Amino acid sequence: MNEQSVIETRGLTKYFGGKPAVYELDLEVPRGCVFAFLGRNGSGKTTTIRMLAGLEQPTRGAGSILGCDIRALSPEIRARIGYLAEEHQLYGWMSVAECGEFQAKFFAKWNGRIFRGIAGHFGLKPAARVKDLSRGERAGLCLALTLAPEPELLLLDDPGLGLDPVARRALVESMIYLTRKSDRTIFFSSHQLSDVERVADYMAVLDQSVLRACCPLEKFQESVRQVRLRFSGAPPALPEIPGLLQAARTENELRVTCARYDGETERILRALSPVEMETVPLGLEDAFISYLGERGEKSFILPDLEAQP
Amino acid sequence: MKALIQKDLRENLKAGLLGLLIYSLLALAVCLSTIASLTHLIDGNNGAVYSDVLQPLLSNDFLTESAFFCAIFGAVLGWMQSRNEAHRDLWAFLIHRPVTRTEIFRGKMTAGLCLYAMGAGLPMAVLLAVVRWPGHVAAPFEWAMVLPLAAVFLSGVACYFGGWLTGLRQARWYASRGFGLVLAVLCPVCVLNVAEFWQTLALTAVAVVILATAVWGAYQSGGYYRGQPAGGRLALIVAMAAGSGGVVFAGAGLLFAAVLNPWSSFSYSSSNYRMTQDGSLYKTTITNGVVKEIVDLDGHPLLDPKTGQKMEWQEFQKHVAAGAAASTELRYREYQNNGNSFCNQGRFFELWSTAEKALWYLDRHGDLRGYNAQTRKYAGSLNPPGSRGALGREPFLQLSDPGNYYGSDDLKLMATAKGVYQADFKARALKPVFSLTNDDEICGFCGDPGGPILNGNQMKFILLTTKSAVRLLDSEGGTILGVPYQPGYVEYPQVGVFFLQATNGSTANFAVWFYPDAQMNLKSGWKMPHHVLWLGPGQTVARSADLPYLHPQTSISWPTPLLQALLPPPAHLASDHNIYSPWSALCFALAIISAGVAWVLARRHNASIMAGIGWTLFVFLLGVAGLLTLLCAQEWAAREPCPNCKKLRAVDRELCEHCQAPFPPPEKNGTEIFAPL
């Protein structure tokens, strides 16, 4: 195992019935980074995080977290891991203060100031019952409970779910605050790509249970490119392009989105003899949507659309 | 762990309080019934005294209600403790903290048992305090009377773990989640039916250990079988086996009762000897409740002299000799307790008389103790002088069925080992009727006269058996008849005396009938005959006869042996000694087929050789129930074709079990973006 990795999996696989939820996942997460774990709904993100937290037994494969086998996490290791589940479930009958007191009794490194600070940031009154909190407030409370023990590694399963933009921004700031020390690591899943873009160093993309990308954020953005090709007449038929994600055709234009864009891709495209060839800058969200969106060639020429059944 | 205990206590406090309220009401109800019975007695309405509630600790109704309550309350409490955290994220919140899952289990268990003790134990303790405090209950008390309620309380602990396991278990078949409850429910059922406290204690202890271990195991794996420690898996299998057995038999029973109804063709026939007033013996046969024939010992039908036709049953009854029977089972109460449930009030005392607004009990030590219904306090005892009893007086002997003692509410005939007395409860005095002067001891006694009617009055007799003689006494204790007890009273524990009329040349006035002990007769291959003596004037033996034992005839009905065939083979062998019967063959065939299916399943789903052999043996020993256990407990991994050898392979193995090829990496689609981190 790589000593610089806080999370490492080899062939990690989970089946539910006969269907794989996570398939042969090989992943390494370096210490001290913010790692975004992305994918569409049902792609296996939550299952992976639950397996990493020792809450779900893998069907096969192996994994370690902070050097400990994920099948047998010791209490000492759990004390170093903060886990935030996606639905922010807590005991409804407890008050905010009682939640904090309850949790504080288990964690030696409990930092009451962090708890109170985050709770205050979300406007949580200590006497308020959990069952009376809004979803966003509950998320804030869960976040406070997760961050207050000052864990070395944070596993956050869609922490922004249910939070308004202001609260989400507070969450992002919390994450940045937490990683001020170099040995802190955050592994989180999210659908909020603007947040990811703001804080993440690395990202991994799960597509239908399979890991398709794992790289620094910039590398992903570099690799997924869209090129607009203008032709004097109708665009020619598209040859086979490695890593082609999408191609959209209009009367005299062709927009091609590729993963792993490189010199070979450019050579193939230039061979089509376009009048003009232009690279369209993609943000992370656009790149991500292109990467996981519908694959293949689409036509936006009216007669073609009308001809479709 | 303290925080967890506090959390769970608070979380389930409402359930505990609700249980406390319900059970307090039940306890209050039995106390009110006790008071109502005593009030009836004070008001002179003796017939309305309900003896079951005079000692609430031993009230059969209250114990039954308590058993129901403890089972339901325990199971619901356990179930709630797991269902509160059934949501996977709340479960994760509970589990993901720096404590072991064993500590979490212990914390929750401590809280749950505290709440159970509050809901069920507290009202019991208060009830005990009320009963123990003089002036509340007009009935004997001894600490052993607490054992039934204690057993009921403990049986609820087993149900607590059963309910917890039901809520916690992640089962492939949802109905099988409740299988653990079957083992738990056996405990309260057994409390009210087993003979001794230690038996129910042992069963409850075993059930609690099994179910608690299964719950602990489920905590280690999030409720799944896979991932549990070996102890947890074993406990779960045993709990599931009990549930599977219950389901198999309940299912088969329901099928028989609701659909097939084979008992409609059931027939039962029994033959008995009858003696008529002239001392003649006849054999009567009754089939399915209808008299089939009345024949003499040579098999000739008895003819009615008036009609010349076969004699009708009603007519025959007029000729049957009157008589009385006594068992030699007159013993001290401790002896009589054999076979009775330890919860049975009769183990401790019997209500003997309610004369003069006092309650007289014959307790298990043979002491006749009186309690004042008004003050509800001990009022004194009534025993002959002596030194053998707990009170330093001669203890009374008791029949297994106290109804055999005869007498009014005011006067009762009673016996010690050496004498017969008439107890006068109004005068609170004992009048000696008969006493033995030799070393002999009274061992049988029947006060029910049933004698012939002389001068318009039915004669009063006392049939008394001692270890060496059978005596018929008149109501003043004078001996009418006395014969040696031969054969011995151990082998022939029941004696009948019949009053005869000397006619048709017979001079016999009495017949004495010695009945063989059924268990001993069974062991001897039914070779012990009935022994009958006819006694003439001067108690001379006019004649004697040995009559062969008559077996009841039962038409062979298939449901019982079929149900026996569903038993695990070892249990079947214990219940049906004929190993070569077709039902035994069916039992073994079912076990072998089930074991074969288990082996195939185990191998197909890639269990190790040892696990396969273990499951196969287990299923063979338990039969169909074992197979059901395997299907309920095991979580089978999915199988998919191996790209290398094309055979189906289990997905939970790193290598294909057929060709040892590893799983292929995910297929690439050309869009992969990987870079060093």
pLDDT > 70? residue B554: no
Could you tell me which of B229, B110, B257, B239 has the C-alpha nearest to residue B181? B239
Q: In this complex, which of B97, B663, B670 lies closest to A78 when CB atoms are compared? A: B97
Q: Which residues pair with B413 in a beta bridge?
A: B422
Q: Which residues pair with A155 in a beta bridge?
A: A83, A187
- What does the pLDDT read at residue B391? 62
CA distance B452 to B430: 28
Judged by average pLDDT, the poorest of B110-119, B239-248, B577-586 is B577-586
Residue of B nearest to A60 (CA): B652
Report yes or no on B226 lying in a domain.
Answer: no
Domain that holds residue A235: 224-307
Residue B24: pLDDT band with limits 50, 70, 90:
very high
Number of domains in chain B: 1
- Residue pair B557/B266 in contact (Cβ under 8 Å)? The answer is yes
Q: How far is B152 from chain A (nearest CA, A)?
A: 33
Residue of A nearest to B641 (CA): A18
Under an 8 A CB cutoff, do A11 and B98 touch? Answer: no
H-state helical runs in B360-490: none
Residues A201 and A251 in one domain: no
3-state SS assignment for residue A95: strand
Report yes or no on B593 lying in a domain.
Answer: yes
Q: What would the mean pLDDT of B46-56 be, rounded to a whole number? A: 83
Under an 8 A CB cutoff, do B651 and A210 touch? Answer: no
Q: What would the mean pLDDT of B667-672 be, rounded to a whole number? A: 86
CA distance A203 to A189: 9
Averaged confidence pLDDT in chain B: 86
Under an 8 A CB cutoff, do A60 and B652 touch? Answer: yes
Residue B404: pLDDT band with limits 50, 70, 90:
very low
Q: Which of A220, A240, A273 is the last residue of a domain?
A: A220
Residues A252 and A196 in one domain: no
Under an 8 A CB cutoff, do A11 and B654 touch? Answer: yes
Residues A89 and A178 in one domain: yes
Q: How far is A170 from chain B (nearest CA, A)?
A: 23
Number of domains in chain A: 2
Residue of B nearest to A222 (CA): B673
Residue B650: pLDDT band with limits 50, 70, 90:
confident
Query: pLDDT tens for residues B231-249?
Result: 999 999 999 999 999 988 8
Residues A122 and A232 in one domain: no
Residues A129 and A262 in one domain: no
- Residue pair B514/B495 in contact (Cβ under 8 Å)? The answer is yes
- What does the pLDDT read at residue B403? 46
Q: Which helix (DSSP H) or strand (DSSP E) does residue A234 occupy? A: none
Residues A189 and A230 in one domain: no
Residue B148: pLDDT band with limits 50, 70, 90:
very high
Under an 8 A CB cutoff, do B663 and A24 touch? Answer: yes
Q: In this complex, which of B100, B670, B677 lies closest to A216 when CB atoms are compared? A: B677
CA distance B76 to B167: 9
- Residue pair A203/A36 in contact (Cβ under 8 Å)? The answer is yes
Q: How many beta-carbon pairs below 8 A join chains A and B?
A: 133
3-state SS of B138-187 is CCCCCHHHHHHHHHHHHHHHHHHHHHHHHHHCCCCCHHHHHHHHHHHHHH
Q: Which residue would you say has higher pLDDT here, B578 or B493?
A: B493
Under an 8 A CB cutoff, do B666 and A245 touch? Answer: no
CA distance A110 to A104: 6
Q: How far is A232 from chain B (nearest CA, A)?
A: 30
Q: What would the mean pLDDT of A243-247 be, rounded to a whole number? A: 87
Residue A299: pLDDT band with limits 50, 70, 90:
low
CA distance B30 to B66: 11
Report yes or no on B635 lying in a domain.
Answer: yes
Judged by average pLDDT, the poorest of A7-21, B299-313, B439-453, B517-531 is B439-453
Query: pLDDT tens for residues A124-140?
Result: 999 999 999 988 889 88
pLDDT > 90? residue B64: yes
Under an 8 A CB cutoff, do B677 and A214 touch? Answer: yes
- Residue pair B245/B567 in contact (Cβ under 8 Å)? The answer is no
- Which of B89, B100, B106, B653 is the mutation pick for testing A, counting most A CBs within 10 A? B89
Q: Which of A220, A246, A281 is the last residue of a domain?
A: A220
Domain that holds residue B588: 560-650
CA distance B78 to B211: 11
Backbone angles phi, psi at A185, to 5 degrees: -130, 140
- Residue pair A59/A12 in contact (Cβ under 8 Å)? The answer is no
Residues A167 and A35 in one domain: yes
Q: In this complex, which of B7, B222, B672 lies closest to A55 when CB atoms are compared? A: B222
Q: Which residues of B touch A (CB under 8 A)?
A: 2-3, 7, 10-11, 84, 87-93, 95-100, 221-222, 224, 226-227, 637-640, 651-654, 663, 665-666, 669-675, 677
Full DSSP string of B624-668: HHHHHHHHHH--PPPEEE-TTT-SEEETTSSB-TTT-PBPPPPPP
- Residue pair A149/A79 in contact (Cβ under 8 Å)? The answer is yes
Residues A202 and A98 in one domain: yes
Residue A115: pLDDT band with limits 50, 70, 90:
very high
The count of other CB atoms within 10 Å of the CB of residue B304 is 13
Residues A206 and A250 in one domain: no
Residue B335: pLDDT band with limits 50, 70, 90:
very low
pLDDT > 50? residue B535: yes
Report yes or no on B585 lying in a domain.
Answer: yes
Report yes or no on B99 lying in a domain.
Answer: no
Under an 8 A CB cutoff, do B93 and A90 touch? Answer: yes
Q: Look at phi and psi of residue A253 and say left if phi exceeds 0, alpha if psi is from -120 to 50, else beta.
A: beta
The count of other CB atoms within 10 Å of the CB of residue A182 is 9
Q: In this complex, which of A89, A216, A291 lies closest to B90 when CB atoms are compared? A: A89
Residue B442 has, within 13 A of its CA and on its CB side, a CA count of 29
Residue A180: pLDDT band with limits 50, 70, 90:
low
Q: Which residue would you say has higher pLDDT here, A234 or B161?
A: B161
Percentage of chain B with pLDDT > 70?
90
Q: Which helix (DSSP H) or strand (DSSP E) does residue B532 occupy? A: strand B530-535
Under an 8 A CB cutoff, do A60 and B665 touch? Answer: no
CA distance B635 to B606: 12
Domain with residue A186: its CATH number is: 3.40.50.300
- What are the b/e assignments for B529-546, b being 16+ CB within 10 Å? ebbbbbbbeebeebeeee
Residues A22 and A102 in one domain: yes
Under an 8 A CB cutoff, do A213 and B7 touch? Answer: no
Report yes or no on B621 lying in a domain.
Answer: yes
pLDDT > 60? residue B140: yes
CA distance B198 to B183: 18
pLDDT > 80? residue B387: no
Q: Which residues from chain B sit within 8 angstroms of residue A244, using beta carbons?
A: 670
Residues, chain B:
677
- Residue pair A193/A288 in contact (Cβ under 8 Å)? The answer is yes
- What does the pLDDT read at residue B265? 64
Could you tell me which of B230, B199, B201, B226 has the C-alpha nearest to residue B213? B230
- What does the pLDDT read at residue B388? 65
Q: What would the mean pLDDT of A238-256 be, rounded to a whole number? A: 86
Q: How far is B648 from chain A (nearest CA, A)?
A: 12
Under an 8 A CB cutoff, do B97 and A216 touch? Answer: no
Residues A212 and A249 in one domain: no
Q: What would the mean pLDDT of B613-634 be, rounded to a whole number? A: 92
CA distance B22 to B74: 13
Q: Which of A177, A192, A220 is the last residue of a domain?
A: A220
CA distance B91 to A198: 32
The count of other CB atoms within 10 Å of the CB of residue B255 is 11
Under an 8 A CB cutoff, do A91 and B92 touch? Answer: no
Residue of A nearest to B665 (CA): A24
CA distance A286 to A289: 5
CA distance A160 to A147: 14
Q: What would the mean pLDDT of B463-481 be, rounded to a whole number? A: 85
Query: pLDDT tens for residues A11-60?
Result: 999 999 889 999 999 999 999 899 999 999 999 999 999 999 999 999 99
Under an 8 A CB cutoff, do A91 and B91 touch? Answer: no
Report yes or no on B527 lying in a domain.
Answer: no
Query: pLDDT tens for residues B280-320?
Result: 999 999 887 788 889 998 889 998 888 888 899 999 998 89
